[in-house]
Amino acid sequence: MATALRPLSTGELLDRTFSLYRSHFALFLGIFALPYLCVLALQCLALAFQTPGAQLRNVLTTAVFSIVVGLLSLVVAAASQAATVVAVSNVYLDRPAGVMDSFSKVKNQIAGVIGLSLSIGFLVGLGFIALIVPGILLMIR
């Protein structure tokens, strides 16, 4: 792929993005699907711990597993987003890109990506509470 940096129109940008994802579909599927298999396994484990008769135990088990799954989903989403950025940059610059290689390059930056995601989510939420238009502007930003 050409590495010429120039301003692109929205159509050109979307065309390059979709052609990049289409030509390296297995790479990006692996980056997003493999980590979410851990989340799916944890959710299946939560179902296995539920018993037919004990309602209070099921509620407590579901609450604990929901908190753990929520935190794990946050980490997995941040890792997948960061690994996707690394993979896209490697593919665009004609460097070798792999699923494990992308994750290994971002393993030390996961906390920063999680913090950034939480702060953006908090600011967008405040913007929507204050007024819908600033929230939309913050979300676009």
pLDDT in tens, 17-26: 898 889 999 9
Distance CA 12, CA 21 (A): 14
Q: What is the pLDDT of residue 37?
A: 92
Residues of the chain with pLDDT under 70: 1-4, 54, 134-135
Average pLDDT, the chain: 84
Cα–Cα distance for residue pair 124/139, rounded to 1 Å = 6
Give the pLDDT of residue 62: 83
Element (H, E) at 9: none
**Nearest-angstrom CA–CA distance, 79 and 32:** 9
Residue 12 corresponds to which amino acid?
A: E
pTM exceeds cut of 0.85: no
pLDDT of residue 29: 93
State residue 128's pLDDT score.
Answer: 74
pLDDT at 2: 53
Please give the pLDDT value at position 121: 85
- The answer to whether the CB of 67 falls within 8 A of the CB of 3 is no
* Sequence-ordered strand ranges (E) for the chain: none
Structural tokens at position 4:
């010429």
